[in-house]
Chain A
Amino acid sequence: MGMTMTEKILAAHAGLPQVKAGDLIEARLDLVLGNDVTSPVAIDVFNKAGFPKVFDKEKIAIVLDHYTPCKDIKSAELCHTAREFARRFDITHFYDVGQVGVEHALLPEKGLVAPGELIIGADSHTCTYGALGAFSTGVGSTDMAAGMASGLNWFKVPAAIKVVLKGKPAKWISGKDVILHLIGLIGVDGALYKSLEFTGDGVSWLSMDDRFTISNMAIEAGGKNGIFPVDEKTVAYVQDKVSRPYTVYEADSDAEYESVVEIDMSTLRPTVALPHLPSNTRTIDEVRGMPIDQVVIGSCTNGRLSDMRIAAGLIKGHKVSGKLRVIVIPATQKIYMDMIAEGLTQIFVDAGCAVSTPTCGPCLGGHMGCMCEGERAISTTNRNFVGRMGHVKSEVVLASPAVAAASAVIGSIASPEDL
């Protein structure tokens, strides 16, 4: 029987010729990731267990991105714990304020992820690296601690859903619109415990940034991972970033899929998710004019350079509406510098946006843009749960950078076509 991409990567890392959905396996890890919220809990577990060393100081990444630059004394203590641990074991890939970026934008940019690798991260959006043809999934802090100590973890081989992407997306349709549409179709538990395997002739139209956005939100459908085939765009992306050898896996023609979902990207409209679930999707035509108080452009979902180019391109020559405030957060220091070099930062600041250094910040209601009761944001982030960006009675609408930028100029939810 044939295997999916996910099954092949898991089999290779378990040292097995074949695995199938439902098998429980123990697999070798290529990278173990944590951030300033999850690492301290993992470090506490690690220390209490009395492990004398980490399995490989080159294969652990600790990224202080959630509450940094530290929002308060307690978060400074979390970062201190992580920093001391990184120094104690001489962790190679430790990123502190000044080098840090939002983890799932940073790791691919730094070449820490390559096709065919197996990565666990104590952050649910670790599934982002599926865009590169890697198997990556979110875990908790105890898994991170066990991974740091042993370089191993257990996995249940997931059943797969094949997502066939067809057609060329229209001008304003991005990866965000594709993944929101998919989550709207299958629901927030539509891929629970499962792997989303993206394929189809439409994949070639998607930029790497679009693919990162799509894989990033696989978890919002409950997915264990969301993986793309490796093509010329993938190879071009990793070419100047990854120097170690890597393996490209392809799904067998007779691989088993539990179900198949087809999406014709040429027919999609700009799509948003209304409060309070990412599956509560509407096309822009159904929500145009909805009042908003805040716009957030950033995050591991949509804080990459292409997102900033799209947003700046729409905002250029305008002032943001007086009805709202706009927060722009480049996801990494490199993106921050590229934005300056390309004049994007100038465009945002001239228009009246606040431009922050990299942080997860408002996405999880951490800092840099929390809302009070009764406020509503349109945000390029990934979750719109109750209280996600602040007060329990505040609301988040999820959207693409194009829709967020158009809304910033017009002052209520708007389509880029309206500008």
Chain B
Amino acid sequence: MKTEENTVSHTVNRRKRLGYMYMIPSLVILAVFVIYPVIYGAVTSLYDWDWVAGIDKKLFVGLGNYLQIFSDRLFWNALKNTVIFAVLSLLAEFVLGLCCAMLLYKIKKGGVIFRTVLIFPLTISDMVAAIMWRMMLDPASGVVNQMLRSIGLKPVDWLGNANIVIFTLVLVEVWWMTGNITLIMLAGLQSMPIDQLECGQIDGANSWQRFRYLQWPHLRSFAESALSLRMIDLLRVFAIAWAVTQGGPNRASEVSQQYIYTNGLGGYLDIGYSIAMAILFSVFVVAIVAVIKRIIRIGGDNE
């Protein structure tokens, strides 16, 4: 008996060990490409390392860089712009994306064509989308204003009016990425057993009731993934702001990543400070996503 038990535990142990061994290659890669850079970045953020003053001049300042962020008006301005942009885009993309998914789920013919049209922008890189829209929205010679003029409307200063620019960026983003949410939600709809819906129909539930009480509970986990993934992406916005408005006018559309980049390799070469901002910003992104997940879960628990 005893020997048998020993053999069993021995095999289990061996399997466990083998399991750990299989993990080694990916752990090594993770350590080299993720863990080391993160630690290096965290350490560097404690230094005043300004390449303009000399790449070999690295001065330890402790939390000095982090304290500086709190009085940096431009950092908070960029963060404010980023949050406004992300929240507006997320709402618009989610509502539009969900509607498109419902429609695509319903239609019987031509679904492939509509799906292709919706997915097409996803295949374009952010920089290409941004440059394309910058040309189309060019206030003087862009096609959008030419269309407005041709139907007798006044041209709009899409890129130079401080009150409009954020909406301009939202417009570009929504055009570019709505298909992403559509795809996830459509997958959610299609994965739901059809008989539940049919039962609902037989029981006399109208289409709103069917959506609210049958489809939505099933879709919630899909919505959670879609919203969290999109929020992370939206908060990290860079190319669209950088190429469409360059953050202007007067920083009305400057976003966090852009400001961090300008302070670092993209301009001032103040490496320590820009890394400190990047770290603080990552913490902020994680916190926001946690809040979103919480909100969706609370919404679910209440039912």
Do these two chains interact?
no
